[in-house]
Amino acid sequence: MKAIILGAGQVGFSIARYLVQEQNHITIVDHSPHVLDTISDKLDVQPILGFASHPDVLDRAGAKEADLIIAVTSSDEVNMIACEVAQSLFKVGMKVARIRHQNYLHSDWSEMLAPQRSAIDVIISPELEVAQTIGRNLRIPGAFDVISLIDESLKLIGVRCLAHSGIVNTPIKHINSLYPNLDLAIVLIKRDDHIIFPSSRDHLLVNDEVYVITPKEQLNLIMETFGYSTSESREILIVGGGNIGVNLAVGIEKEYRNVHARIIEKDPVRCQQIAGFLKRTEILHGDALDYDLLQEANIENCETVIALSNDDKVNILASLITKRHGAKRSLALLNNMQYASMVTSLGADAVISPKALTVSTILKHVREGNLQSIHPISEGNVVVIEARARETSHIIGLDIEDVTIASEIMVVALARQDTLHFLPNRMNISANDKLIIVTHKESVHKIEKLFSIRPYYL
C-alpha cells in the first residue's frame, strides 16, 4: 500500500512507524525541515517538505499513485482542504482527516462533512474518541477498555489486577480448574512497560494490566473474579468541563439512567455555559484539588473519577488525591505518556492518551483490507482481528492449530452460523466462519495473507 501522511507530529510519526513495519510505502509531508530530518533518521519513509494542502506538494508526494492519505496536521482547515485536493485532482481512494474543533462536528453543521458532500471518507475527532471510549468503559465498572466483537457476543475488556483478587499469582493454565464456570482468554499482559503475550505458564501479578476476551454473558463473573463488584446506583466525578468532559457527560445522561455525574470546573463562565445544556449533571465551580470541594462532590462514595482537564499535572494529582480520599477508581488523561507508568504505580487505575486513541482509530480504518475489523490495543503493540473466511480464502480447510503460533498468533473464537465456539480446538475452518484472532502488530500481514482470496480460472 502507498500512503501519504500529512503532518509529522506525534500522531503522524506513530502512524508512519506502524505502517512502515507492515511493509507499506510511506511518504510523509511537513513544513518543518527539522521535523522531517528527525523522522527520516528513525523511519524508512520518503520526506516531502511543503504545505500539506498545496497541489504541487501533494503531486511531489506521489498522490497520483497513492492508495491512502491521512491528514493529521495541526490545522483542521489544512486537513480538510488537503482531502479535497487529493480527491478532485488526484482521485486518491481513501482520505482520513483529523478534525479537532467541535464546531465543525456539531450536529447543526456536521452534514457539511458527510461523505456524500465532502472528500473526507473518515473523520477522526480525538475529543469525541476519548469521550466515547470512556463512555464504553463506564458500562463495566472496573474496566479501563471495552471493545465488542462478533455482533457483541464477545467482549474484549482491559482490567487491572487487584491485590485481593483470587486470580492473582495463579498460573494461567490453572485458572480453568479453579474457576470451571469461567470462559476467558487472557490475550495480553502489560506489566510496568513490558508487553507479555501470555502462555499457559505465565501468571498474573498485582497491578498487571490484563486484556481478556469473554462471552458477554460472563462479564459480571469475570469482573468479580478480578475483584470488582457492580452497584445499582453509581456516582461519577469528571474533573474538567472542557469538550471531552462535556461530551462524556452528555453520553452519560443519554445512556446511563442509574449514574449521577458531577463536573468540577475552575472557570466560572464555562460553568454557566455547560450548566445551560446539561440536564442531570451537577456542576461544581472550584479547584479539583481542594479537599472541601471534593467532600462536597461526595468523593468517598464515587465509583469513578475521570480527570480530563487541559493540564497533565492537575489530572495526575486529581486522580491520585481522589483515590486516596475514597474513590474506587480513577482515570487520568495524559498528553505526555512519559508519566504513565509512574501514575499507575502510585495508585491511579489507568491513563488515557488522546494521541494513542487517535492512532488506534486511524489504524483500525486503514488496516482492514480483507479483514472485517482490527482493534489495536496497548498503544497498537497487539491487535485483535475479526475476519470472515470467504469461499476462496487461503485459510479454508486449515485447522485451528495450523493457524496458531505460540506467543505470536492466538485464535480465540470461531463463529459458525449461530454457534460460537470459544477457544476452539481441532476445528477445520469453513467458508463464512468468523474468527477472532489476537496477534502482534508485526504479524498482521500473515493474517491478511491467510484471508486473502486465491486466484482462480474459469
Average pLDDT of the chain?
89
Partners of 155 in the β-ladder: 148, 214
Instruction: Give the model's confidence band at 364: pLDDT under 50 very low, under 70 low, under 90 confident, else very high.
Output: confident
Torsion of CA 58, 61, 63, 68, to 10 degrees: -110
Instruction: Give the model's confidence band at 458: pLDDT under 50 very low, under 70 low, under 90 confident, else very high.
Output: very low
- As a whole number, mean pLDDT of residues 240-250 equals 93
Q: Phi and psi for 373 in degrees, rounded to 5?
A: -160, 150
Provide the 3-class DSSP secondary structure of residue 48: strand
Instruction: Give the model's confidence band at 114: pLDDT under 50 very low, under 70 low, under 90 confident, else very high.
Output: confident
What the chain holds in terms of domains, given with CATH numbers, is 2-124 (3.40.50.720), 142-225 (3.30.70.1450), 234-356 (3.40.50.720), 367-451 (3.30.70.1450)
How far CA 442 is from CA of 242, 356, 368, 447, in Å, comes to 37, 18, 15, 10
Instruction: Give the model's confidence band at 45: pLDDT under 50 very low, under 70 low, under 90 confident, else very high.
Output: very high
Predicted local distance difference test score (pLDDT) of residue 200: 85
pLDDT of 68 > 50? The answer is yes
Tell the residue number behind the cell numbers 505460540, with chain if given.
Answer: 406
Q: Beta strand 46-49 with 259-265: parallel, antiparallel or unpaired?
A: unpaired
- 181-209, pLDDT tens digit by residue? 889 999 999 888 788 998 888 999 988 88
pLDDT of 361 > 50? The answer is yes
Tell the residue number behind the cell numbers 457527560, with chain if given.
Answer: 249
Predicted local distance difference test score (pLDDT) of residue 457: 39
pLDDT of 224 > 90? The answer is no
- Grid cell locating 290: 481542594
- As a whole number, mean pLDDT of residues 79-93 equals 95
pLDDT of 306 > 90? The answer is yes
pLDDT of 231 > 70? The answer is no
- 317-329, pLDDT tens digit by residue? 999 999 999 998 8
Predicted local distance difference test score (pLDDT) of residue 332: 94
- Cα torsion 289, 291, 293, 298: sign: positive
Predicted local distance difference test score (pLDDT) of residue 367: 62
**What is residue 184's DSSP assignment?**
-
Predicted local distance difference test score (pLDDT) of residue 230: 64
Does the global pTM surpass 0.85?
Answer: no
- 412-442, pLDDT tens digit by residue? 999 998 899 999 988 999 999 999 999 988 8
Measured distance between the N- and C-terminal CA atoms of the chain, rounded to whole angstroms: 28
Using a 10 angstrom Cβ sphere, with 0-12 exposed, 13-18 middle and 19 or more buried, the burial of residue 155 is: buried
Residues constituting the chain: 458
Predicted local distance difference test score (pLDDT) of residue 395: 92
Tell the residue number behind the cell numbers 491511579, with chain if given.
Answer: 348
Percent of the chain with pLDDT over 90: 54
Helix, strand, coil share (%) of the chain residues, nearest 5: 35, 25, 35
Q: Beta strand 209-215 with 154-160: parallel, antiparallel or unpaired?
A: antiparallel
User: Best-predicted range by mean pLDDT among 334-338, 435-439, 444-448?
Assistant: 435-439
Predicted local distance difference test score (pLDDT) of residue 140: 83
User: Best-predicted range by mean pLDDT among 29-38, 100-109, 328-337, 424-433?
Assistant: 29-38
Weakest-pLDDT range from 70-74, 224-228, 331-335: 224-228
Predicted local distance difference test score (pLDDT) of residue 425: 83
Report the distance separating Cα 124 and Cα 126, nearest Å. 6
- As a whole number, mean pLDDT of residues 341-351 equals 84
Predicted local distance difference test score (pLDDT) of residue 24: 85
User: Best-predicted range by mean pLDDT among 62-66, 113-117, 376-380?
Assistant: 62-66
Report the distance separating Cα 305 and Cα 318, nearest Å. 8
Tell the residue number behind the cell numbers 505470536, with chain if given.
Answer: 408
- Cα torsion 371, 39, 356, 64: sign: negative
